[in-house]
Amino acid sequence: MLEDKNQERTSLEKLGEFGLIDHLTKNFEINHKSTLKGIGDDAAVFDHTEKTVLTTDLLIEGVHFDLSYMPLKHLGYKAVMVNLSDVYAMNATATSITVSLAVSNRFPLEALEELYAGIALAAKVFNVDLIGGDTTSSTSGMLISITAIGEAKEEEITYRSGAKPNDLLVVSGDLGAAYMGLQVLDREKEVFKVNPNNQPDLSPYSYIVERQLKPEARKDIVELLKEMEVLPTSMIDISDGLSSEILHLCKSSKVGCNLFEEKIPLDPTVISACEEFNVDSTMVALSGGEDYELLFTISQNDFDKIKGNPSLTVIGHMTDEREGAYLVTRGNTKIELTAQGWNSFNSDN
């Protein structure tokens, strides 16, 4: 349905490996002084004044992405976002990325140009240098591995382990939209299989579909917290779903948590999509994943600094470890959080 309209197909063999790397990367600029050597030698060289943070992710076609509804430009952009989000979750500034690719001969040069257009857009918007990578062939499908590098002052790095009992639990943006966007895309894919002439009207779902196809890492939140002079006590990005990320913070910090259902921020389009698909919106926020929002804890003393900010919502507080991690429902019952959402839901299924 979102097929590439570009009919030109240049075989990758024509260019050869070096020609291909050169072709894909020639328009990338180096913008950071700390990048001493980018693409073009055996290794990149950089010189950070602060501590270096580094994170990597591997994305596999058919496991992590489906090219039947993911345009390659979006895939390139999202692959970068997923990594930058991890850098920001350390409260660091991202400076550079590497991109490693394995592609089968099913992909023409034009497909990789699209992928790199997405990578280039992400690099420009988020101001990161492309400093290297690797390119190889695959017997089937596409694999992309991106590594993101960043820097942060040692005292500003936020680990998962710093939360204390009574700290407030805060989340940026809203939750569950990327998951519901995927439900819509999956449904349309099934409709398309039956009737390829059917052009879906995705306009009522534009926000949630965009959250699935073009997530934005929350660099702005890291900058906002600096401006507000709030140093989170712990932080993580939401890739798997609120519930499992809360449990990561609890485990690393050796604390418990009360999460309040009524506080979980949901976009109205998520609520209506949940009604349409007959799924529980709290469950979607807890276990949907791919939101790439930041989840962090702050000292209660910092509450006044973040209070009323539309990008931030206090959704709970941390407790003693022995109290455990709970969802406090709208009906004021406490349900133990599990990585999949909450206990009672799983046993009912």
3-state secondary structure of 349: coil
Lookup: tokens for 227: 């401006």
Residue 16, binding choice from ligand ADP, Mg ion, none, Cβ under 5 to 8 Å by partner class: none
Nearer to ligand ADP, 132 or 181 (CB): 132
Residue 288, binding choice from Mg ion, ligand ADP, none, Cβ under 5 to 8 Å by partner class: none
Residue 262, binding choice from Mg ion, ligand ADP, none, Cβ under 5 to 8 Å by partner class: none
- By the 8 A CB rule, do 122 and 329 touch? no
Q: Which residue is nearest to ligand ADP (CB)?
A: 132
Q: Cα dist. 194→67, 70, 188 in Å?
A: 18, 19, 10
Minimum CB separation from ligand ADP for residue 104, in Å? 15
- By the 8 A CB rule, do 57 and 145 touch? yes
Minimum CB separation from ligand ADP for residue 46, in Å? 13
Minimum CB separation from Mg ion for residue 43, in Å? 10
Q: Which residues pair with 169 in a beta bridge?
A: 297, 316
Q: Which residues pair with 316 in a beta bridge?
A: 169, 259
Closest CA to 252 of 313, 316, 321: 321
Residue 89, binding choice from Mg ion, ligand ADP, none, Cβ under 5 to 8 Å by partner class: none
Q: What gap in Å lies between CA 22 and CA 30, rounded to an integer?
A: 15
Nearer to Mg ion, 98 or 287 (CB): 98
Nearer to ligand ADP, 40 or 204 (CB): 40
Nearer to Mg ion, 134 or 262 (CB): 134
- By the 8 A CB rule, do 125 and 31 touch? no
Residue 42, binding choice from ligand ADP, Mg ion, none, Cβ under 5 to 8 Å by partner class: ligand ADP
Q: Where on the chain is the footprint of Mg ion (CB under 5 A)?
A: 134
Strands (DSSP E) along the chain, which ranges?
35-37, 45-46, 51-60, 93-103, 129-137, 142-152, 168-172, 234-237, 255-260, 294-298, 312-320, 325-328, 334-338, 341-342
Nearer to ligand ADP, 130 or 222 (CB): 130
- By the 8 A CB rule, do 107 and 232 touch? no
Q: Where on the chain is the footprint of ligand ADP (CB under 6 A)?
A: 21, 25, 39-42, 99, 101, 130, 132-135
Nearer to ligand ADP, 75 or 284 (CB): 75
Residue 283, binding choice from ligand ADP, Mg ion, none, Cβ under 5 to 8 Å by partner class: none
Minimum CB separation from Mg ion for residue 134, in Å? 4
Residue 39, binding choice from ligand ADP, Mg ion, none, Cβ under 5 to 8 Å by partner class: ligand ADP
Nearer to ligand ADP, 73 or 211 (CB): 73
Residue 132, binding choice from Mg ion, ligand ADP, none, Cβ under 5 to 8 Å by partner class: ligand ADP
Nearer to ligand ADP, 18 or 197 (CB): 18
Q: What gap in Å lies between CA 235 and CA 58, rounded to an integer?
A: 22
Minimum CB separation from ligand ADP for residue 44, in Å? 7
Minimum CB separation from Mg ion for residue 56, in Å? 16
Q: What gap in Å lies between CA 176 and CA 167, rounded to an integer?
A: 24
Lookup: tokens for 82: 């997923």
